[in-house]
Amino acid sequence: MSRLFSLSLCAIVVFSLASTNAIAAKTTYDANAGKTIYDTGCSTCHKTGLMGAPKSGNKADWVPRIAQGMDLLVSRSIKGYQGKKGMMPAKGGNAKLTDTQVGNSVAYMVEQSK
């Protein structure tokens, strides 16, 4: 009985890992939902260009970054990254944000800057 239980538990774990991967592969971000997060966090640096942050709406700053692709932009925003201009803190310094929330706010900035 307990063997059957652990087998089915194992199947559930494998299945849920597989399905989260499937979701992650085709994530689309919601720029509208990202606006609030941008306004309450990211804008501190990204509105004014504080600490070397690329200003939202500044195409010269953003076009080459956008060309790197959303996946890289989002993963750098989640993990943080040291670039040539400055240091982007992980999740903009707000560890409470989910990865999706960070992705949404990246989408919002990208929308402003295309």
Footprint of ligand HEC (CB under 6 A)? 37, 41-42, 44-46, 50-54, 65, 68, 72-73, 76-77, 83-89, 91-93, 102, 105-106
- CB of residue 71 to ligand HEC, shortest distance in Å: 10
Q: Kindly report the CA angle at 85 between 64 and 55, in degrees rounded to 5?
A: 60
Q: Give 8 or 58: the residue with its C-beta nearer to ligand HEC.
A: 58
Q: Give 35 or 77: the residue with its C-beta nearer to ligand HEC.
A: 77
- CB of residue 50 to ligand HEC, shortest distance in Å: 6
Enclosing H/E stretch for 76: helix 70-79
Q: Is 82 helix (H, G, I), strand (E, B) or coil?
A: strand
CB 58 within 8 A of CB 47: no
Q: Is 54 helix (H, G, I), strand (E, B) or coil?
A: coil
Q: Give 13 or 87: the residue with its C-beta nearer to ligand HEC.
A: 87
